[in-house]
Amino acid sequence: MGVSWYEPLAPRIDWATYTWCESAALAGCFRRLFVRFVFVAYPIQERLREFKKMAIRRRDFLVASLASTVAGRMGIFGSMLSQAHPDGASSQPITAVKAGTPVRFPDNQGDTWVAAWAEDDNLYSPSDDTSGFRKGCNANVAFNRIKGSDALHLEGTTINAMLDYGLQSQHGADACTWKSSGCIWIDGAIYLVVARHLYGEDSGDLYRRQTAQNASIIKSTDFGKSWARTSQQNYDNPMFPGRRFATPYFIQYGYGHGEAAVDNANEYVYATSNNGFWDCGDDMVLGRVARSKIGLLNGNDWEFYKGGDGMKASAWSSNMSEAKQILQAAGRFGMTGAVYLPAQRRYFMIGWYYPAGGGKMPGAGTHTVWDFYESPRPWGPWTRIGSYDSTPAGLYSPEVCPKFQDRNRVFAITAGYWGSQEDYRMTMVPLELDT
C-alpha cells in the first residue's frame, strides 16, 4: 500500500516492506521540503536570518517525524504481528490468485504430471496412462525428464517406460491398475509414490470416482532409470495399506528440497493425502517422516498429524487412524499437494474437482474447478482464497511447480480431458499471486 504526503517530493513508501533504509528516503523528503521552504518562500534577507535558527529545528523535526512514522507504522500494522513466523520473520498471506492462459506442450500424452526439481537443475515427473514424449512408451506409469530455463518453453524426454507397472490401463488380479502421485528430489534421490487405482466406471462409487489404495514410495538414485522396491513388493506389501494415505503428495520446498529449516523441514519430509480417490476426494490429512529415514522406504517410519502444535512431537501419531483432517470438503479434493513459497513464507495448495461428480460421470470430464488454499503452516489453518473454472479443457491434477517461482507468480503443471488429444498432455498454467 503506497502513501505519499506530497507527490512531487515524497517517495512512495510500501509499508508492507518498509525497511530502515527507507528512513533515508523520508529524511530526503523532509530535506527537500525544507530547502523549498527556505529558498523559495522566504526573501533572501529572511533566509539568512532564519537559517541558523531553523537548522536545529530542522534536525529535531526530522528526528521527530521519523519516530512518528515508525510509531505509526507499528500502529497501522500491529495486527500483522499475529502473522509473524516463529523465527521472527513476517509471513504475508496470499489473498487472491489469478490463473493465466494455459500453455500446452507438444509431442506428449498423459496426465498426473508432478515435477521434482533435481540437483542437475532439470525437472523430473511421472506421467500416467501415457505414451510419454514422442510416443516413447505405452504405460500405466512412465518417468520423464523435462529441461529448460523458461516455464513456457520446455522440452521433455521419456527416460523410463516403467514396464513393471504395466502397459496403459493394464489391470492386475485385483482389477486395479498402477498409478502415481507425489514426486520429489531430496538428498540425492528421487522419490515417487505409486498405488493401486480402480477406474471410476468399475469402482462402484456412487459418483463414479476413481478409488486409490495400497500406496508405496519407490526410490531412484540414477534420475529415474532404475527404482528400489519392485512393483511386486509394492503389490504384496504396500507401505500404506488401505485408502487413508493412498495418494500422498510431498510438500515441496524448492530446489532439491534445499536446506529449508522452516517448520522442521530440515528434519522431516511432509506429505498430504486425501481419503483414497484420484478425483473428488473429501478431505486431506498430513503425514511426515524423518528426513534421515525416507530412503528406508518403510511405512512404519511415518507419523500422522493428529492435532495441536505441529512443531511438537505430541501432535503426531504413528497410528494412521488418528490422523486429523487438515482440510475437509466433500467431493472437492482430487489428489494434490502443497508447496512452500519462501517469498511469502506461506504454503500454497490447489484443490480440484469435477462439479458433475467423479470424472467418469456423463459429461463431467470437460469441466473442473480449482480451489486455491493458503496456510502459514503445513498443518494449517488452511484458507480458501479463490477458485478457477476450467472448461472445456477440464484441466485436472494440478500441482504447483517448485521451479520457476518469483514473488508474484508460480506455475501449475497439469493436464486436461483425456477425450481430447489437444488437452490430454503436459500443460503449464501461470498463476499470479496477490498478497
What was the pLDDT predicted at 18? 38
- Looking at the fold, whether 224 and 363 belong to one and the same domain comes out as yes
72: left (phi over 0), alpha (psi -120 to 50) or beta: alpha
- Domain annotation covers residue 307: yes
What are the angstrom distances between the C-alpha of 318 and each of 293, 301, 305, 405? 14, 8, 9, 34
- Looking at the fold, whether 11 and 108 belong to one and the same domain comes out as no
Residue 41 has pLDDT above 90, yes or no: no
Residue whose cell numbers read 520429489? 184
For the CA atoms of the chain, what is the radius of gyration?
A: 27
Q: Which of 76, 107, 140 is the last residue of a domain?
A: 76
Residue 105 has pLDDT above 60, yes or no: yes
Q: What is the pLDDT of residues 197-222, one digit of tens each?
A: 999 999 999 999 999 999 999 999 99
- On the 0-12 / 13-18 / 19+ scale of CB atoms within 10 A, 422 is exposed
- Domain annotation covers residue 289: yes
What number is the average pLDDT over the span 67-73?
Answer: 39
- Looking at the fold, whether 198 and 261 belong to one and the same domain comes out as yes
- Looking at the fold, whether 38 and 130 belong to one and the same domain comes out as no
- Domain annotation covers residue 315: yes
The dihedral through the CA atoms of 185, 187, 190, 193 has a sign that is: negative
Which residue in 368, 424, 421, 428 sits closest to 399, CA to CA? 428
Spatial CB neighbours of 299, under 8 Å, sequence gap ≥ 6: 216, 238, 239, 240
What was the pLDDT predicted at 327? 98
**Full domain range(s) for residue 199:** 96-434
What was the pLDDT predicted at 133? 98
- Looking at the fold, whether 45 and 103 belong to one and the same domain comes out as no
Let me know: does 406 contact 343? Beta carbons within 8 Å. yes
Residue 87 has pLDDT above 70, yes or no: no
- Domain annotation covers residue 317: yes
Residue whose cell numbers read 466406471? 201
- Looking at the fold, whether 355 and 250 belong to one and the same domain comes out as yes
Helix, strand, coil percent content, the chain, rounded in steps of 5: 20, 40, 40
- Looking at the fold, whether 253 and 131 belong to one and the same domain comes out as yes
- Domain annotation covers residue 90: no
- Domain annotation covers residue 84: no
Residue 54 has pLDDT above 80, yes or no: no
Cα separation of 221 and 275, whole Å? 30
Mean pLDDT, the chain, whole residue set? 85
What percentage of the chain carries pLDDT values higher than 70?
80
- Looking at the fold, whether 230 and 108 belong to one and the same domain comes out as yes
Strands 116-117 and 383-390: unpaired
Which residue in 284, 374, 379 sits closest to 332, CA to CA? 284
What was the pLDDT predicted at 19? 39
List the grid coordinates of 340: 512452500
What was the pLDDT predicted at 86? 52
- Looking at the fold, whether 245 and 308 belong to one and the same domain comes out as yes
Count of domains observed in the chain: 2
What was the pLDDT predicted at 259? 76
Where residue 88 falls among pLDDT bands split at 50, 70, 90? low
List the grid coordinates of 71: 510509531
Of residues 190 and 6, the one with the higher pLDDT is 190
- Domain annotation covers residue 83: no
- Looking at the fold, whether 262 and 374 belong to one and the same domain comes out as yes
What was the pLDDT predicted at 300? 98
What was the pLDDT predicted at 360? 95
- Looking at the fold, whether 174 and 285 belong to one and the same domain comes out as yes
Let me know: does 250 contact 268? Beta carbons within 8 Å. no
- Domain annotation covers residue 82: no
What number is the average pLDDT over the span 108-121?
Answer: 97
CATH of the domain at 275: 2.115.10.20
- Looking at the fold, whether 49 and 119 belong to one and the same domain comes out as no
Of residues 52 and 418, the one with the higher pLDDT is 418
